Structure 1
Amino acid sequence: MTGNPQTNSPTTGSAAHSEADSGAQNALRTAVEQGLPTTIADLCALVRIPSVSWAAFDRAHVAASADAVVALVRHLDVFESVDIVQAGIPGGTEVGQPAILASRPARNGRPTVLLYAHHDVQPPGKDEDWESDPFTPTVRGDRLYGRGAADDKAGVMAHIASIRALVAAVGRDFDLGLALFIEGEEEFGSRSFATFLNENREALRGDVIVVADSNNWDVNTPAITTALRGNVTLRLTVRTLEHASHSGMFGGAIPDAMLAMIKLLATLYGDDGSVAVAGLTSIDVPTPDYSEEQLRAETGLLPGVSPIGHGSILSRIWSQPALTVTGIDAPSVDNASNTLTPSVSVRISTRIAPGQSSVEAAVAIETHLREHAPFGASVEIDDIDTGEPFLVDTSGWAVTEARTAMTDAWGTPPVDIGVGGSIPFIADLVRVFPAAQILVTGVEDPDSRAHSPNESLHLGVFKRAVLSEAFLLGRLNERTGH
């Protein structure tokens, strides 16, 4: 679990509101429960579509996923417009993956809510690492397994199911304004996101934005994500030789690229494994108790292997930078020969703390790599991608409404968490819609293993997440003077 819970006593609303809430909530609760089998069946159908948005995978699957989602949205029969839209990727002629965009205007002074999720998924990885086929939704115990079952096709279905419940409870002629944006390339960097926002600004404009793509504290406790780290990823190539040479003939006299790369990467870390790059910043925030035992249980850390870093465990995950070498291009073990390697490339992924710009962080990382190159090795840095960190303003009325809805749905108040991962497009949303209130919610829990083999969705968490959003939509449909 990557979070920072803060105790927040939810505002339950006025006494005049509460009696009306009871009847409305009963109708919404009944609608969610009766609709759950259909909701899960629809989710399973989406999971069966291998909608990996990465460049090396077939775009036809993402298109098929968009078609399936748009059919679900149109069947709601509440939107004035429902379209599949693609936007251009800046810097070229390529267009992004298909997204679904739907909207209906607010009436009688009600607010407009923009609901966001994404229908694309991560690559599945090796089939042998899965206990069941990654694109065959499989229920084991109280969990649904499959790639995208949690991240983020469950987020898509949470939106669909909550709107269905609202229709069942109050009819299709409600006053709440709705915009729905289901992205198709979040897992591949949201490359066309900024263009999409600029081209569809009016259709996406909302008073409240609900991003259903994050975690809950545990299977019994809901959460609102209030902090997200940003990211800087790049490819680093180290060269020391014009060509390969026999290691027995010249080893010990000339540095090969592997030696130079290993020494250079080692400079990125302190003795405790924390990031040692000058210019990368941290923030100082209180964190709750989170034991090493819990960290081991949630991550699978092997016995005898120590955690890295300093400070509280959650501060390492939420409010400090982290740097990971996520890939390496070098001779494989099976193809290894007695050769001095002339060049080696690695992919570096850095998470940056809230409060630091990604551009500033990228400059700090590049400066470090160039200044610490050993033996005068040539250093090349390219394929740089950045994403901004984010801190949520929790003082607005939308957060208060969300806390109340979650408390009513889960039977326990939500906690505020910080997440070690990144959702860079939120900074774009803030840039385009500075007056909108952002709510980052989710359907995942610490055992969901998003992006990893055996990704899964806890069905009890999913039901409560749907109910929370249905309650929120119901409350906002009665709200005026926002």
Structure 2
Amino acid sequence: MTDELARRIAALIPRAKADLAELVAIPSVADPRQYPPEKCREAAEWVAAAFTEAGLRDVHLEETPDGSHAVIGHRPPPPGAPTVLLYCHYDVQPSLDAAAWTSPPFELTERDGRWYGRGSADCKGNIVMHLTALRALGDDLPVGVKLVAEGSEEQGTGGLEAYLPPHAGELHADALLVCDTGNAAVGVPTATTSLRGVTTVLVTVSTLGGDVHSGMFGGPAPDALAALIRMLDSLRDADGGTRVDGLDCRGTWAGVGYDEQRFRTDAGVLDGVRLTGGGTVADRLWARPAVTVLGIDCPPVVGSAAAIPATARARVSLRVPPGTEAFPAQEALIAHLRAAAPWGVRVEIERESAGSPFRAATGGPAYAALDRAVREVYGTALSFLGQGGSIPLCDVLARTYPEAEIILMGVEEPRCLIHAPNESVDPGEIEHMAHVEALFLRNYADSARP
């Protein structure tokens, strides 16, 4: 039966490519300042139609509190069988610098054995993985299935997180497949068991009533950009490691590590540039807070004048590991920045969203069923890794369904370059992970029965 299932899935890959091409062609960026909102609606309707065709019932769009639409559907379980929730998101990151793309960002392009395009991996590749697994099983689906496809995950505006608690019964399941991560490398089947949380703030520094001539006033007149730079620099130690007063920045990772040379390759670190911080790469990625200056508003180099900046603004992100709560971490970051402000400058700090970290329990029947599936497909045991990124929904799912097993998996891997120009997916990972998912659904039907 496994060989037959593998043949079915292999035969479905041309359709998976066609589906992914249609999805990638829809620029479903959930930011109306940059992209028309009707494109997100178009992607949601595409997802609803596709999962209806794949056998789910009552697939429909639900508006969430942030104005985005979640696609929700289900297929009832056979008597006595468990139910699995399949998660994905159809919104994508913006294309960023179009000139940095080798091929058009919203056109699926095959090159060197990979499929390129924005969202090809994160997360439209995972949508196609779900569809391929369901189509391969067809009517031979031994568990109940529920679907939720989110429409604003990349924007972090929390629509689905707010929608879920008052609609808990609608999405309740015994196991939750959160398919927005992936493998440690191509061919290395991996479940993500640890996610850092994230919090961001906007910090604005003001020093003058307006910009003034640097020749007439430079020296005693306080430079807002220089003050901001000092504040941001205080968030790192001499080695570049994160330093936020009130947070433990010395945690260690006890799981599978991350080879430093492979990390340098995966991250595209330039020759001769040292990694920041101390400890192992895994410590720094998965067990410690990590600060990033996401952007700065200040006079650009081109067109700049001989003037002292009166104001400057930065957006600062802080990733936090399990064991550190996001909201207290945000308060610590704010207090640190205020304390680091020099010369009595005026500081205004705006709190943005905060998502809690997550750690999965891996000892239940769903993880056992997944391990059996990956052994059949990949010929090796399931690996467990952390992720430096965050999925705030996981913490909401864990609180809402404390008895459910939560599994984070998918088609993404380091070469995908998610969120960057030239995002891509390995079609072999779509095929193999769809096979894993189909086998998991079949295995879990047996292992979860009393």
- Range into which the TM-score falls when normalised by the shorter chain: over 0.9
Gaps spanning 5+ residues in structure 2: where? none
String of CA shifts for 1:352-409, please: whole Å, max 9, x gaps: 1111110110111011011111001111100421000001111111111111111211
RMSD (CA atoms): 1.4
Q: 2:47 aligns with which of 64, 69, 84?
A: 69
What's the counterpart of residue 50 of structure 1?
27
1:39 counterpart = 2:7: no
Which 5+ residue runs of structure 1 have no aligned equivalent? Answer: 1-22, 90-94
1:306 aligns with 2:277: no
Change (3 A) 1:40 1:355: same
Q: Which stretch of structure 1 is more off in the superposition, 407-416 or 224-233? A: 407-416
Distance 1:314 1:480, change over 3 A: closer
Q: 2:114 matched to which residue of 1? A: 143
Query: Identity across aligned pairs (percent)?
Result: 36
- Match in the other structure for 1:234: 201
C-alpha contact 1:109 1:480 (8 A) present in aligned 2: no
* Matching residue of 2:347: 379
Q: Give 1:198 shift.
A: 2.8
2:179 is paired with a residue of what secondary structure? strand
Question: Matched residue of 1:443: which SS?
Answer: coil
1:415-454 alignment, distance < 5 Å:
415-454=383-422
> Residue 204 of structure 1 is aligned with which of 156, 168, 171?
171
Equivalent in 65, 82, 103 of residue 88 of structure 1: 65
Matches within 5 A, 1:290-369: 290-369=258-337
Aligned counterparts of 2:120 and 2:305: Cα–Cα separation in 1: 43
Query: 2 CA distance for matches of 1:44 and 1:244?
Result: 49
Q: Matches of 2:303 and 2:389 in 1, distance apart? A: 35
Partner of 1:459: 427
Q: Distance in 1 between matches of 2:282 and 2:412?
A: 18
| TM-score normalised according to structure 1 size | 0.90
Residue aligned with 2:343, SS: helix
1:468 partner SS: helix
Is residue 188 from structure 1 mapped to residue 165 from structure 2 by the alignment?
A: no
Corresponding residue SS for 2:202: strand
Q: Distance in 1 between matches of 2:13 and 2:389?
A: 29
Which residue of structure 2 lines up, in the alignment, with residue 5 of structure 1? none
Q: Deviations over 1:432-451 (max 9, x none)?
A: 11111100001011110000
CA distance in 2, matches of 1:314, 1:391: 15
Shift of residue 295, structure 1, vs aligned partner: 2.2
| 2-structure distance, mates of 1:450, 1:478 | 35
Contact 1:84-1:98 at 8 Å conserved across structures:
yes
Aligned to 1:256: 223
What is the distance in 1 between the residues matched to 2:143 and 2:262?
A: 42
- CA 1:190/1:209 → structure 2, altered by over 3 Å: closer, same or farther? farther
Cα distance, 1:149 vs. partner? Answer: 0.2
Contact 1:238 1:260 in 2 (8 A): yes
Aligned equivalents of 2:306, 2:352: Cα separation in 1: 33
SS in 2 for 1:221: coil
Give the Cα–Cα distance (whole angstroms) in 1 for the partners of residues 409 and 263 of structure 2.
22
User: In 2, are the aligned partners of 1:215 and 1:223 still within 8 Å (CA)?
Assistant: yes
How does the TM-score come out when normalised to structure 2? 0.97
List per-residue Cα deviations over 1:294-319 (Å, max 9, x = no partner): 22211211122111000001111111
Alignment deviations for residues 150-191 of structure 1 (CA, whole Å, 9 cap, x no partner): 000011111111111111xxx26x441110001111001142
Show the counterpart of 1:16: none
Contact 1:111/1:479, CA 8 A, preserved across alignment? no
Q: 1:200: how far off?
A: 2.9
Tell me by how many angstroms 1:464 deviates.
0.9
Distance 1:480 1:191 in 2: 31
1:374 match: secondary structure: coil
Tell me how far 1:106 sits from its aligned partner: 1.8
2:245 to 262, 278, 298: 278
Amino acid paired to 1:66 = A
Letter of the 1:382 counterpart: E
Distance 1:28 1:61, change over 3 A: same
Aligned length: 448
Q: Which residue of 1 aligns with 2:72?
A: 101
Residues 1:59 and 2:37 are matched in the alignment: yes
> Which residue pairs with 1:113 in the alignment?
84
2:6 to 14, 20, 29: 29
Q: Over residues 311-331 of structure 1, what are the superposed CA-to-partner deviations in whole Å (9 max), with x where a residue is unaligned? A: 001111111111111111111
* 1:50 and 1:62 in contact (8 A); partners too: yes
The answer to whether the Cα contact below 8 Å between 1:280 and 1:352 also exists between their aligned partners in 2 is: no
- On the 8 A contact 1:218/1:446 being kept in 2, the answer is yes
Residue pair 1:212, 1:441 contacting (<8 A) in 2 also: yes
Question: Quick check: 1:211–1:441 contact (8 Å CA) kept in 2?
Answer: yes
SS at match of 1:447: helix
Letter in 1 for 2:79: N
Q: Contact 1:224/1:441 (CA < 8 Å) preserved in 2?
A: yes
**1:15 is matched with which residue?**
none
* Contact 2:255-2:384 at 8 Å conserved across structures: no
Assess, with a 3 A threshold, how the Cα gap between structure 1 residues 195 and 291 changes in structure 2: closer, same or farther: closer
